[in-house]
Structure formats: structure tokens, C-alpha cells
Amino acid sequence: MEHLDAVYRLALQLARHPDDASDLVQETYLKALRVAERFEERGGGIRPWLFKILHNVFYSRLARDKRAPLSVDELHGASSDQPGPDEPAPAWDLSTLNWEHVDERIKTAIDGLRSEYRTVLLLWAVEGLKYREIAEVQEIPIGTVMSRLHRARSTLADQLAEFAEEFGHGTG
Amino acid sequence: MSNAPTAREIRLFCDGELPPQEAAAVEAKLREHAEPRARAEFERRLRERVGAVLKAGSAPPAGLADRIREAMTSEEAWASRDPQAGIIGTIEPPSAEPAPHRAWWRGPTRANAYAVAASVVLVAGAVLFGIFGRPIDSWPGRGTIDVAAEAAAAVASEHVMTANSPAGPTHSARYRTRDQAASGLAEYLGAAGRVYDLSDLGYAFLGGDTCDVPRCERGCHLIYRRTGDRPGLVTLHVLPRPEQFELHGSPGLKAFPILTDKITRNQDCPKDVLVWSHGEHCYMLVVSVAQDAEKIALRMQQTLLAGTPE
């Protein structure tokens, strides 16, 4: 199962819990097996197709429970279908950031993002998918992919700016 | 610096999303300008670190692959699949185990007979239930979550229609001032209702009216609007008989996602209907500017709990 790691990674970002993620992955492979004849090679191999099935399985489960109200903890952040606006250059010197110590801050910032932002980041940064492929996996417009990626990266950049300020990196 | 690439161009360039000609142009510009070059380097390093962070600690549990293989072998379809095709090619087939045993009732000739028998039993059951069963009117009502969700969906739809009304959000409002609305609510709902002052948050009271909400005898809504750089619309529906909206779990604030793609004109799109109940009323709040929603809801709740006059 050469794609198991990647599929599990995405499942974990969606479900946030290892047991739920394992269930999701199993259901994804079973579903893939049942609909294998529908797979069409579009140049990206089987991995994006498995991601798409996983995504559908996850949101189908959510839809089953969609009448259950969400906690207000899930209410932060906003989404838009518009690509992110251009933004001015940051006021701090990016080139002097000490990248050796940023991982923990990046991890905290990613954990604070909503799942739709986390999954776009994962598909982009780890799996190396193009915007179009991410849009197909998530069944959203490409503009929404760009918007989510823009917001997620801006959030991370803000966190790194704070980090640089706190530790005196990159304030020049 | 006018020739320098924009932040958006830099990101698209770094992500490999620009056509070759545009990518070459951005690359040339980056060679000329130090600050955008630093930004491009920042984007590259950020992607690298995000990838590393997301990859770390996300290996699947040791037994997962075996568990999936086991589940796949129990799939009846497995035996009839071409092991060279599609997904199968990436998953090792089970070792020389016998094909799964076919359940006795799945025999091709028996299946039809059982299907016919099952259909006859179902039809007969339905007919008998129709004759001797309880009338539908005596069935218990739907769950409170369903009722609240249906009302929340109607409230969300009302909000979107109000925001997009070409004649303005309050063209036919019955109550034009907060005082009129307060006495109108009290008269119409049969108990004192609150008309909040949100002016310190930039929202002006526009008006209020009575309205119909599914499964409610009557209801009222209040409309607030903020203009300027960050326009927003707030609608608050006040509904009687909170017992039918009583939600599972804590009696606090609940959020029903708005499952619509309709964007309100010149405004952000509301994300949730926030619902809570207090005393004799249930409150359903929709705020176009998502960041303001929780703030306004908690403010209204606290006002209710404190019993302070508005």
C-alpha cells in the first residue's frame, strides 16, 4: 500500500484523531476497491483519486450528522471564494528569520487552523499537488483553493513575524 | 520598485502555478529586486517547513495496513476483481487464501425468490399497518434538533433575502424604532422581548417586523445594519415556545451551519445561525460578518442573564 502514509496523513488532518483517521482510511480503501473500474488516469496517478474518495467519505460522514449543532469553538475564521488579495511586504526582515526554531510555532499555528485550511496546506506542502488537483480532490473552485492557501499562509506568516519579534530574529 | 513582482505573483511563481512565460518574467524581476527575492525565499522555506511539520508524527499505526487488507479480503467483490486493474495494482492481494465463502442466501437462483418473498411481506405489512396502525397524527413529533435545524434554515434564508432585498432590508418593517419594536414584541409574542442596542459595535437598529418561521406559531425579527468600510447585517429572530427548540447538551449557544453559497450583496457571507433560549423565547441570530457573530451573541446572552435593561 504505497499511498497509505499519504492517505492516513490527510485522514488525520480531517478527523484529528488517530482512531477516526484509521477508520476513514479503511473505508476509503474499501470504497476505492468497489469503484476501482471508475478510476481514470489523468496524469497524477492514483493518489489524488484516493484523496478524493477519502474527502468524500469524510464529508459524507459529516453530512450524516449535519443536523447536530457545532460548538461555538468552531466559529472562528472566515472563508471566501475569492483569491486572497495582494498584500504589502511585511514590516520585518524575512531573510533574517532563524528557521532552525520555527517548527513548534508553525505546528501550533497549523493546529489552530480550521480543517479546510489544514488539508489544503497538507495537499500543497506535503503532497505537492497543484491548485487544480487540490480543487478536484476537495470539489471546490480553484479560487477557493487559492483563497484558503492564501489565508493559511498569511496566518503562518503572522505567527512567524510574532516569533521573530519575541526572539529578536528578523526585527532588522 | 514599480517593476517588482507582487506578493501574489511571487506565491504563484513559488508554487509553480504560472505559465512558463510569466514565470520567466517573474524570475527576471526577482533577480533585480532584493526584497521580493527575500520574500520568495521565505515562501519556499515556509512551504518546506510546513511540509516537514505536517509529515512529522503522522505515520499510520502499525497494524493499519493489515487491518485494511483483512477487510478487503472479506469484501465479496475481491474474488471477482482483475488484480491488474486500478486500485488493486497498488495493494498487495491476499496470499493464497481460499476465495471467501459465498453466503447461502446469495446463490443466484435463490436470490430472486427471496427478493420476491421479502417484497410481498413488506407490501403486506404496509397494508396491514395502514389498516390497523396508529394514525399519523398520533405519532410523536420530530426531535427538537430537527425542529431547530428547520427553523434555523428558514431564519438563514430570511437573512439572505433581507440582505439582498432590492427595496432595502426594512422596506415593509412594521416597527421603525426600538421603542416600537419593544412594545410590538411584547404585544405580539405575549411577553416582554428585548431590543438590543448594538450601536457601540457600529450596528444601527433599522427596524423589526413579525414573521412566519416553520413550526412556530408566531415570531418577530429585528434588523441591524453597519455601513462604512466593513458593512454588515444582523438579523435576530425572536420565537416563542423555546421548549420545542431545546437542544441536546448544554443550554448555551449553539451554531447551525448555513448550508448555502448565496453571498449577501456587498457583505461577507454568514456562516452560522446562532441559537439560544432564555425564558419564554428562543433567539436565532445571523450575522453577515462572521467575526462579529459570536461577540454579538454572547453580548445578547449576557444581557439576558444579567437581566439588565437595554
Grid coordinates in use for B246? 431545546
Give the distance from residue A55's alpha carbon to the nearest chain B alpha carbon, in angstroms: 17
Are B46 and A157 a contacting pair at CB < 8 A? yes
Closest chain A residue to B149 measured between Cα atoms? A67
CA end-to-end span of chain B: 54
Element (H, E) at A35: none
What is the CATH code for A83-172?
1.10.10.10
CA distance B268 to chain A (A): 8
Element (H, E) at A10: helix A4-15
CA separation for the pair A148, A131 (Å, rounded): 11
Using DSSP's 3-state secondary structure scheme, residue B64 falls into: helix
**Which spans in B74-210 are helix H?**
108-132, 144-164, 178-189
In angstroms, the Cα distances linking A117 to A13, A153, B51, B134, B273 are 10, 9, 14, 50, 22
Q: At A48, which amino acid appears?
A: P
Query: What is the residue-level pLDDT of chain B in tens, covering all 310 positions?
Result: 468 888 888 889 999 998 889 899 999 988 888 888 888 888 898 999 999 999 887 888 888 888 888 888 876 555 555 555 445 444 444 444 444 555 555 555 566 777 888 899 999 988 888 888 766 666 555 555 567 777 888 888 888 777 776 667 666 678 888 888 888 888 877 766 678 888 888 888 888 888 877 767 678 889 998 888 878 889 998 887 666 666 544 456 777 777 655 444 445 677 788 887 777 778 889 888 888 888 888 777 777 665 544 4
Q: Grid coordinates representing B10? A: 511571487
Residues in chain B within 8 Å Cβ distance of A50: 87
DSSP class of residue B282?
A: E
Is B133 part of a structural domain of the chain? no
Q: At A81, which amino acid appears?
A: D
Asked if residue B51 and residue B154 are part of one domain, the reply reads no
Segments forming the whole domain that contains residue B174: 144-306
Per-residue cell: B259: 448550508
Q: Nearest CA to CA, how far is B147 from chain A (Å)?
A: 10
DSSP label at residue B192: -
In a domain, B279, yes or no: yes
Among B39, B55, B71, the domain boundary falls at B55
> In the CATH hierarchy, which top-level class contains the domain A1-66?
mainly alpha
Q: Do A125 and B67 touch (CB under 8 A)?
A: no
Boundaries of every domain in chain A: 1-66, 83-172
B63 within domain boundaries: no
B197 at the A interface (CB within 8 A)? no
Out of B52, B75, B146, the one facing A67 most closely (by C-beta) is B146
Name the residue among B36, B54, B77 with its Cβ closest to that of A125. Answer: B54
Q: Interface pTM (ipTM) of the complex?
A: 0.82
CB B43, CB B30: distance < 8 Å: no
Q: CA B268 from chain center: how many Å?
A: 15
Structural contact between residues A148 and A122, judged by C-beta atoms closer than 8 angstroms: no
Nearest residue in A to B39, CA atom: A94
CB contact under 8 A, A12 and B253: no
β-pair partners for B276: B283
- Residue B137: inside a domain, yes or no? no
**Angle between helical axes of B34-55 and A4-15 (0-180°, round to 10):** 90
Phi-psi map region of B202: left, alpha, beta (phi>0 left; psi -120 to 50 alpha): left
Q: Verify that B182 and B40 share a domain, yes or no.
A: no
Within-domain flag for B176:
yes
Asked if B75 has any chain A CB less than 8 Å from its own CB, the reply is yes
d(CA B48, CA B73): 39
In this complex, do B255 and A46 lie within 8 Å of one another by their Cβ atoms? no
Total of domains in chain B: 2
User: What's the CA gap between B236 and B196, in Å, rounded?
Assistant: 10
